[in-house]
Amino acid sequence: MIATRSRNVWVVWISMALALLLSVSTLPRFMEIGRPLWLALFLTYWVLALPHRVGMTSAWCVGLLADVLNGTLLGQNALILTLITFLVLSLHQRLRMFPMWQQSMVLLVVFGLAQLVQLWLNALTGSRPPTLAFVLPALVSALLWPWVCMLLRAVHQRLGVN
């Protein structure tokens, strides 16, 4: 078996840094409740595109960075991003075959489960009262998935990341 040399893997980490910046950028007050799950979106794309390079360890590391950046309980975002990565890796072969609208529906469920775990962790720590608005970021992220996927696919193909 011939091993291929990895090329331009730094693009993955630059895009994760961009997702971290997007996740802490300021939004108008009325839009804050529906903030997209940028890290989950970008991580999902790279897990689907490069499952041999980006996996649960990458998700855990990026999640710890998000915890430090957001000032949340250490390991909270790491746990959630690792859960998302596990679910996406489990569905990897099927997700790649689905059309874009079906991928969005599956990711709505995956992101919804992640938001449910987030809500549960927030309720345990007492940092936020539970409301039904926790579903809104998952819905916005599922609606943004086709555009994020097309953008990252263009970058992936243009720079030849493998």
Quote the distance between the C-alpha of residue 38 and its chain's center: 6
Task: Supply the range of the domain harboring residue 130.
Answer: 36-159
What is the per-residue pLDDT across 110-159, written as a single tens digit (0 to 9) for each?
A: 999 999 999 888 888 877 766 778 899 999 999 999 999 999 999 999 99
- The verdict on residue 134 lying in a domain is yes
Say what the pLDDT of residue 52 is.
92
Q: Say what the pTM is.
A: 0.93
Q: Does a structural domain hold residue 19? A: no
CA–CA gap between residue 8 and residue 11 (Å, rounded):
6
What's the pLDDT tens digit per position in 8-58? 889 999 999 999 999 999 989 888 889 999 999 999 999 999 999 999 999
Residue 154 resides in a domain: yes
CA–CA distance, 96 with 100 (Å, rounded to integer): 9
Rg for the chain, CA atoms, rounded? 16
Whether 42 maps to a domain, the answer reads yes
Domain count, the chain: 1
Per the domain annotation, does 109 fall within a domain? Answer: yes
Q: Domain for residue 10, yes or no?
A: no
Question: Is 90 part of any domain?
Answer: yes
